[in-house]
Structure 1
Amino acid sequence: MRHPLGTVGQVELLVLSSTLCRIADAEENLGESEVREAHLAKSLFYIRIGDKEKALEQLKLAFFYMDFDLISKSIDKAKNLFEEGGDWERKNRLKVYEGLYCMSSRNFKKAADLFLDSISTFTTYELFPYDTFIFYTVLTSIISLDRVSLKKKVVDAPEILTVIGKIQYLSEFLNSLYDCQYKSFFSAFAGLTEQIKLDRYLHPHFRYYMREVRTVVYSQFLESYKSVTIEAMAKAFGVTVDFIDMELSRFISAGKLHCKIDKVAGVLETNRPDAKNALYQATIKQGDFLLNRIQKLSRVIDL
């Protein structure tokens, strides 16, 4: 037997032989879960010796190899199989797999929804431990949920409360945001950045996530004011006036924040869009679209 690292030694051959015997025994004498565990052991053997192709024959290891095309195809295949029938445990496990895929492909909103649906049914320990799952759930929820939903689904969630204290900075990060303790939030945020940067799934989106979090916290602060001095905001966040001025300038020009800076007066003036006016404009636009469709249809009928 050959593999990418060279010739498989006698010890590896003995391990493989033992695993094959375990699979045969499970298929003949044991239940479905034992068969699945035996095949998983075979997959892990091929992972250990670095044989990707044979490992993939046993298990879809797309996450291990960060093969997003394979991940997407595997999730779609699993969903199609569940339409033919499947137990609740496997459906719940699939939610975590899909949530991890969404997070890894920067769809944080869907990832948060899937993770939150799986909090009380999590059993996907082959991907990561429960502490890591809660870490991902909190991070994705913070930039995806409104303040009311965040309180109900995350801040007060019993499953999260039992674990969040074990993860350094995470509890302070979540609660200081909800409690509007912006100095504490920035401090916890700085503490978490290294964990986010080193995470294999979040690392590619590090800069994007950092911008999204800052957008959330700045928007939350400005929501309470029609106008506020730059100095007051800087003091609330524990940073300098120049830092806030530079930060907000970037976010305003990118369309992330609805406010303007009066540099002479040193004041921030919010100009949040009117929700009712936006709804009115959307209704008019949809109405025009519908009328155009009706006119085209009437011409076809006349013919």
Structure 2
Amino acid sequence: MAEEVVLPIPNLAVPQNLYVLSNPALKHLHEKAKKELLEGIKADEMGPWYRSVTSALSPPSSGSSTCQLPLDQSLLDSLEKANEEELKRLDERLEAAEKTEGEAEISATLKARADYLTKIGDKDRALEAQKLALEKAAGLGSRIDIVLTVVRIGFFFSDTSIVTEYMAKAEKLIDEGGDWDRRNRLKVYRALHFISIRQFKRAADLFLDALSTFTALEVISFNDFVAMAVVSGALTLGRVDLKKKVITAPEVNQVIPELPVLGDLVKNLYECHYDKFFVALATLEQSFLIPSRILHPHARYYVREMRILAYAQLLESYRSLTLESLARAFGVSVEFIDGEISRFIANSRLHARIDRVNGIVETTRPSSKNAQYETVVRQGDVLLNEVQRLSKVLY
């Protein structure tokens, strides 16, 4: 078992704070983000990363200095001096190990050097050093840990190609005999990757499966992990599973007092309080989706899909509804509901039609015979493909 604590290297809170600081729409969070960002840079001696982000940012304009991270030359000098001294010490230690010690000591020194380059945010040198450490690592557990560290480098720099490549390597190594702890940590890594590329269903399955076994604090806090599970689950689970896996889950209920908007979202959706659900969804967008480096690219998509889910849930219960009653249920104007429902119907996202003369929305359920026919054709194609594959083997 992997009993040692996995250090947050690189620290993923650092790019999250930089994202907040760089987003003008999150001005109310800038002061806190800047303070925590500088604390993280100093704590991990992130000279290379600090130089790269300050050179990439344009000089702050008058009145907008809180939106930028200006270069503090004295801070950079002190960080780079600390980096130079530590790397010199590690290089000397590696040279001595190669002369007088065994493979285990050399491997440990290579890993220490790679981890330091990872911690300070020197992407290219860190990747090169981690690959060398991986080649020299003896045990399967050590190799898995190094591969997962490279995945975190990919997360840190938002490099999807690195994440995809090394996630596959981690899965292969764990299938060879990874322990329980590393298997569970990989679930969290995979869930974060899936939600970052808008695969909410696959992310929800992994988040919810790992709720009771979560240990991956090196990539995400427990509260944020639960929030991601609720966000993805609310969109992809049916009513029965939403109640069973989210609303009544003890891990979720443990976090709800600190993030009450999550409880408002799922409970009002489940209990069909759609006006309150809309308020909770708007609050979630502003307080959690947009401020999240991972979720902000998907915020508009998520809000739209959740609205469609709520509209469909209500329309499924009735053959017809007046536009006025539909608007009242969601706490919006008739004009708003008319425009939005019309757009979703036109895009085939809702099975309904609007009678504007009488102000009625009529539910149109898809033909069950057509659905059965499509199922038979689809399953028949699969069966024929399997038969053809079998015939090639036999003959």
Q: Structure 1, unaligned stretches of length 5 or more?
A: 29-34
Report what 2:162 is aligned to. 70
The equivalent residue for 1:95 is 187
Alignment-derived partner of residue 31 in structure 1: none
Contact 1:16 1:42 in 2 (8 A): no
In 1, the alpha carbon distance for the partners of 2:303 and 2:174 equals 37
Q: Give the whole-Å Cα distance in 1 for the aligned partners of 2:112 and 2:266.
A: 36
Q: 1:276, CA displacement in angstroms?
A: 5.5
Q: 1:244 is matched with which residue?
A: 337
TM-score normalised by L of structure 1? 0.84
Instruction: Write the letter of the residue equivalent to 1:118.
Output: A
Task: State the partner residue of 2:366.
Answer: 273
Amino acid in structure 2 at the alignment position of 1:151: K
Q: Does 1:55 align with 2:147?
A: no
How many angstroms apart in 2 are the aligned matches of 1:80 and 1:115? Answer: 20
8 Å contact 1:92–1:118 — kept in the other structure? yes
How many residues end up aligned between the 2 structures?
288
Contact 2:226 2:252 in 1 (8 A): yes
Matched residue, 1:153? 245
CA distance in 2, matches of 1:18, 1:188: 53
Amino acid aligned to 1:230: L
Contact 1:47 1:55 in 2 (8 A): yes
Identify the residue that residue 11 of structure 1 maps to in structure 2.
82
- What is the rounded CA distance, in whole Å, between the counterparts of 1:139 and 1:293 in structure 2? 38
Structure 2 portions without partners, runs of 5+: 1-46, 52-75, 102-107, 131-148
CA distance in 2, matches of 1:279, 1:294: 22
Residue 141 of structure 1: which of 233, 240, 246 is its match? 233
How far apart are the structure 2 equivalents of 1:54 and 1:171?
Answer: 44
Structure 1 position 128 matched with structure 2 position 234: no
Deviation at 1:267, TM superposition (A): 0.4
Q: How far has the Cα of 1:46 moved from its partner?
A: 3.1
Aligned partner of 1:227 in structure 2 is 320
TM-score by length of structure 2 reads 0.65
Determine what percentage of the aligned residue pairs are the same residue: 45
Where 1:268 maps in the other structure, the secondary structure is strand
Relative to 1, partners in 2 of residues 1:277 and 1:70: Cα closer, same or farther, differing over 3 Å? same
Offset, 1:68 = 0.7
Cross-structure match for 2:32: none
Q: Render the CA deviation track for 1:102-149: whole Å, top value 9, x for unaligned.
A: 001111000000001100011111111100001110110111111111
- The alignment partner of 2:321 has SS state of strand
Residue 105 of structure 1 pairs with residue 212 of structure 2 = no
**Greater CA deviation, 261-270 or 189-198?**
189-198
Give the counterpart letter for 1:153 in structure 2.
K
Inter-CA distance 118–20: structure 2 relative to 1 (3 Å threshold) = farther
Q: Identify the residue that residue 280 of structure 2 maps to in structure 1.
A: 188
Aligned mate of 1:198, from 274, 282, 291: 291
Over aligned residues, Cα RMSD in angstroms?
3.4
CA contact (8 A) 1:19 1:42 kept: no
- Structure 2 residue matching 1:110: 3-state secondary structure: helix
Deviations 1:235-276 (A, max 9, x none): 011110000001101111111100000100100000121446
Q: Aligned partners of 2:382, 2:117: CA distance in 1, in Å?
A: 57
Equivalent position SS for 1:198: coil
